[in-house]
């Protein structure tokens, strides 16, 4: 049976989720660069990744107490290394 477009899109989404879960395991520190949402934390807010859901949303516990998720491919963030996180450099 020939795969449908939906089958191909589902496979691509699953690959994206797996790649994100490897790149951003729980505990990974990130910094927000841009989020188009009225409830978004300010750019520069740091957070800790809680996980990646099946739709490729990045679940974040923001240092300011918020928990608004990042939408992969829409919102912009940067992964922090330990030195950047400890020294406040981005």
pLDDT given for residue 54 in this prediction: 94
SS3 at position 78: strand
pLDDT given for residue 13 in this prediction: 79
pLDDT in tens, 42-69: 999 999 999 999 999 999 999 999 999 9
pLDDT in tens, 64-75: 999 999 999 999
pTM, two decimals, is: 0.83
The pairing of beta strand 46-52 with beta strand 57-62? antiparallel
- 18 or 13, higher pLDDT: 18
Which residue, 30, 27, 28, is CA-closest to 45? 30
């Amino acid at each position: 049976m020939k795969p449908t477009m939906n089958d191909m899109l589902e496979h691509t989404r699953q690959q994206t989720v797996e790649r994100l879960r490897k790149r951003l395991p729980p505990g990974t520190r990130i910094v927000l660069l841009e989020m188009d949402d009225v409830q978004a934390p300010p750019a520069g807010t740091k957070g800790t990744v809680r996980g990646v859901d099946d739709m490729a949303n990045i679940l974040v516990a923001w240092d300011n107490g918020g928990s608004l998720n990042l939408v992969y491919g829409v919102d912009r963030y940067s992964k922090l290394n330990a030195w950047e996180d400890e020294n406040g450099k981005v």
